[in-house]
Amino acid sequence: MDEKQVIVTGVRPTGDLHIANYLGAVMPLVKTLEANKEAEVFVFVADLHGLTDNDAQTISDYRLPVVKDYLALGLDKYLNSGKVHLFIQSQIGELISYLALFLSRYTTFNDLMRVPTLKEKLRVNQEAGQANALLGYYPVLMAADILIHNATIVPVGHDQLPHLEKTREFAEKFNNEFGKVFSLPQPHTTENLRILSLKGQGKMSKSHPEGALFMSDPEKTILQKIARAETAKEGEATPNLDSLLTIAAELGIGTEEFRKEHMAGKQVVGQFKKVLGETLVKFISNFQNKRSGISDREVLDVIMKGGAAARLSAEKTMERVKRAVRIDYLNN
């Protein structure tokens, strides 16, 4: 088996992108692409995963706009290499489901219920009376997304590590039973960035829009949100101020001097907010301009090409899987 590097990563199309999505997910992905120019990379919009805990209309509304977001945020630069494939998960839905079926042999209902991230999601959804079996099946589907391209590297946040562990377990058990078909994917843990809501505690999230800075916000809203963002009294450090400083630093603003003066009791928060607000306006309006220049037709072209490459890769793996399980009896 060739040992070329294959990277697989997904994004759920569940809402408007905010600045924390960019800093926590898109920017690390672009860095990964930059650092792995020789690797084959599959980036997919996880519309089937989205259906585990979102309604079909939401997924339909965001499926293609997310592709446009990602192109405008820098993925466009990497597509011409022929090694980076951007596609929609459902373009190869039947192949993923087929592989998931074989992988299901290596887990039990009880095991699935014990995956930590899932346990929490199931609890929240159960309270709302919505925990469906697809949600419980998530770790198997995620393993199929990864193994179907024979991934060697999967960029994950720390909270996703248990899922990747499950994926490796499936691959190992399959290989033990049928001979080496799958590579064991290695996690590449990305820096655990945690951007807080601009208002109150908790993470910045689309479910609390008043504390989120959206990539679609107009200039006036951005400046207002930053002006009203919670910070700290002179000489005090708070998680909210730290989070604003993190956003600033990630966008290339030098923050050390400001932090020092603030801790020494100087009134510099207003000045800091002004610089941060202006930088954000510039960054977000550049993004919006670039995004508006990308046509729907271009998005479709990207995913037709990406989907075809993903299908080729997935079919190749499924041929090997079927041969290993001796289920290709019609071709004998």
Residues that bind ligand AMP in the complex, under the rule CB under 6 A: 12, 14, 20-21, 24-25, 157, 193-195, 203-205
Residue type, 303: I
User: Which H or E run includes 154?
Assistant: strand 153-156
Shortest distance, position 17 Cβ to ligand AMP, whole Å:
8
> Which CB, 121 or 173, lies closer to ligand AMP?
121
Our CB check for ligand AMP shows the closer of 27 and 95 to be 27
Please give the C-alpha separations between residue 285 and each of 73, 75, 117, 244, 289, in angstroms, as whole numbers.
Answer: 12, 18, 35, 19, 6
Residue type, 2: D
**Distance in angstroms (rounded) separating the CA atoms of residues 11 and 308:** 19
CA angle (67, 168, 5) in 5-degree steps: 55
By beta-carbon proximity to ligand AMP, the closer residue of 66 and 71 is 66
- Tokens 């809203």 — which residue? 221
The DSSP H or E segment spanning 259 is: helix 256-263
Residue 200 is classified by DSSP as S
Quick one: 184 or 193, whose CB is closer to ligand AMP? 193
Nearer of residues 58 and 104 to ligand AMP, judged by Cβ: 58
Q: How far is the CB of 71 from ligand AMP (least distance, A)?
A: 17
Smallest gap from Cβ 92 to ligand AMP, in A, equals 21
CB nearer to ligand AMP: give 19 or 181: 19
- Least spacing, CB of residue 41 vs ligand AMP, in Å: 17
**Of 136 and 157, which has the nearer Cβ to ligand AMP?**
157
Length of the chain: 332
The DSSP symbol for 203 reads B
Nearest residue to ligand AMP on Cβ basis = 24
Q: In the bound complex, what is the minimum distance in angstroms from residue 235's beta carbon to ligand AMP?
A: 27
Pick from 163, 221, 219: nearest CA to 187: 163
Instruction: From residue 300, give the alpha-carbon distance in Å to each of 63, 92, 258.
Output: 11, 16, 45
Q: How far is the CB of 246 from ligand AMP (least distance, A)?
A: 9
Show Cβ contacts of residue 284 under 8 Å, excluding neighbours closer than 6 positions.
19, 213, 215, 217, 222
Tell me if 277 sits within 8 A of 227, measured CB to CB.
yes
Minimal distance, residue 203 CB to ligand AMP, in Å: 4
What torsion do the CA atoms of 216, 219, 225, 231 make, to the nearest 10 degrees?
120
- Of 21 and 152, which has the nearer Cβ to ligand AMP? 21
Bridge partner residues of 54 (DSSP): none
Q: At its nearest, how many Å lie between ligand AMP and the CB of residue 320?
A: 31
- Closer residue to ligand AMP (CB): 72 or 99: 72
Rounded CA gap, 19 and 245, in Å? 13
CB of 315 to ligand AMP, least distance (A): 29
Residue 289: φ, ψ to 5°: -65, -45
